[in-house]
């Protein structure tokens, strides 16, 4: 690959745009969460700050910034600060490998709409997601508070349990796609060849696990207010608290994006090929980005919808679901996928 000035500028622009979009989406997810919650409960939600309460996230941020920065009597102030920082950075790092579109043709060159196309993108995502739990663990431990510690322990064990099922459900998908690059997975789903039609079980397991990974209801035992006050962020205040809350919404956005890319065709929409050939590369791909965004927004809405529908699981139910249902189910799914992929060889082996 040739590295020149234009390449660096191009990538910088893509990275800045992706970063900004992730931040804005996380910001407006807080607004959307409150609006969806209100509408599902026959209320109207925030409507004072700006039209329809659209300036509410700014007001919330300003409020958090102006709050007192409280430090508990903790033996390790450094880790207390590092906790939210890890949570925030891991939530934002995942978006680096997501293909937001195929390519744009501007200034006489093809701009690939992805920060980086690495061939182990899926492994990278799993790695970063696993580091995310350290933010919660370190924060909960450094708070020097029993409730925080219990929240952190719960979060850690929940994440570890559900990562296994999540990884196993991915294996079935990988056997089918044969690649870990998200760009190639997107390309394979051209037209309506969405993976969800071929791997519905894998999708279901992945969806349930991503609820657990993002610590959203019905799996939000780590911050369950009725038992643990605030869980791991009990002792946090001001913008450090804001970072934890923000990280939750940022990771919700990235996991909604991953679901859309892996199972719902990413930026593909029916007739994209025709649009690119007949109308133009740019228009076709901008529409693709819009399609991806529509899918992402739907899944963010779905997260909220589920949150305000299903009550929280009990801890033993959570572990039961993870270890005794989802993991065996994903292993069965792997075996079924293997049999379907190798059906010709198996038939030949038995002499059909």
Q: Which residues bind other proteins (CB under 8 A)?
A: 36, 39-44, 47, 305-306, 308-310
CB 77, min distance to other proteins, A: 40
Please identify, using beta-carbon distances, which residue of 4 and 42 lies nearer to other proteins.
Answer: 42
CB 44, min distance to other proteins, A: 5
Please identify, using beta-carbon distances, which residue of 44 and 279 lies nearer to other proteins.
Answer: 44
CB 206, min distance to other proteins, A: 15
The position carrying tokens 């996928």 is: 337
CB 49, min distance to other proteins, A: 14
Please identify, using beta-carbon distances, which residue of 42 and 316 lies nearer to other proteins.
Answer: 42
Please identify, using beta-carbon distances, which residue of 192 and 310 lies nearer to other proteins.
Answer: 310
Among 103, 157, 153, 160, which residue's Cα sits nearest to residue 130? 160
CB 45, min distance to other proteins, A: 9
Q: Provide the Cα torsion 121, 122, 123, 129; round to 10°.
A: 110
Please identify, using beta-carbon distances, which residue of 12 and 47 lies nearer to other proteins.
Answer: 47
Annotate 269-295 with b (16+ C-beta within 10 A) or e (fewer): beebeebbeeeebeebbbbbbebbbeb
| Residue 54 near residue 48 (C-beta atoms within 8 A) | no
Provide the token pair at 325.
């249902």
Show the DSSP H helices in the chain as ranges.
Answer: 5-40, 56-65, 77-93, 121-142, 146-177, 182-188, 195-198, 200-213, 225-228, 238-263, 272-278, 281-307, 315-319, 327-341, 343-349
């Amino acid at each position: 690959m040739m590295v020149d000035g234009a390449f660096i500028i191009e990538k910088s622009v893509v990275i800045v745009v992706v970063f900004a979009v992730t931040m804005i989406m996380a910001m407006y997810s807080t607004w959307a969460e409150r609006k969806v919650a209100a509408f599902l409960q026959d209320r109207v939600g925030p409507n004072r700050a700006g039209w329809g309460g659209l300036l509410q996230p700014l007001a919330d941020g300003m409020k958090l910034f102006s709050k007192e920065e409280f430090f508990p009597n903790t033996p390790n102030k450094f880790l207390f600060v590092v906790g939210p920082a890890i949570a925030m950075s891991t939530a934002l790092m995942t978006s680096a490998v997501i293909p937001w579109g195929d390519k744009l043709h501007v200034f006489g060159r093809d701009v690939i709409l992805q920060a980086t196309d690495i061939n182990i993108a899926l492994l990278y995502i799993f790695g970063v997601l696993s580091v995310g739990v350290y933010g919660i663990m370190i924060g909960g431990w450094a708070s020097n508070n029993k409730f925080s510690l219990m929240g952190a322990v719960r979060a850690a064990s929940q994440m570890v349990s559900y990562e296994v099922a999540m990884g196993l459900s991915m294996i079935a998908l990988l056997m089918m796609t044969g690649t870990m690059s998200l760009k190639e997975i997107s390309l394979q789903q051209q037209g309506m060849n969405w993976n969800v039609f071929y791997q519905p079980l894998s999708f279901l397991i992945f969806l349930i696990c991503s609820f657990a990974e993002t610590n959203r209801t019905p799996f939000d035992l780590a911050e369950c207010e009725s038992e643990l006050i605030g869980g791991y962020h009990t002792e946090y205040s001001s913008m450090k608290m804001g970072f934890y809350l923000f990280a939750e919404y940022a990771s919700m956005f990235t996991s909604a994006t991953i679901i859309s890319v892996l199972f719902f065709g990413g930026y593909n929409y029916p007739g994209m090929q025709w649009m690119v050939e007949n109308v133009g590369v740019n228009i076709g791909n901008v529409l693709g980005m819009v399609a991806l965004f529509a899918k992402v927004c739907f899944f963010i809405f779905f997260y909220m919808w589920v949150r305000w529908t299903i009550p929280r699981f009990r801890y033993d139910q959570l572990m039961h679901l993870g270890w005794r249902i989802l993991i065996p189910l994903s292993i069965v799914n792997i075996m079924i996928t293997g049999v379907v992929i190798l059906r010709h060889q198996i038939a030949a082996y038995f002499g059909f």
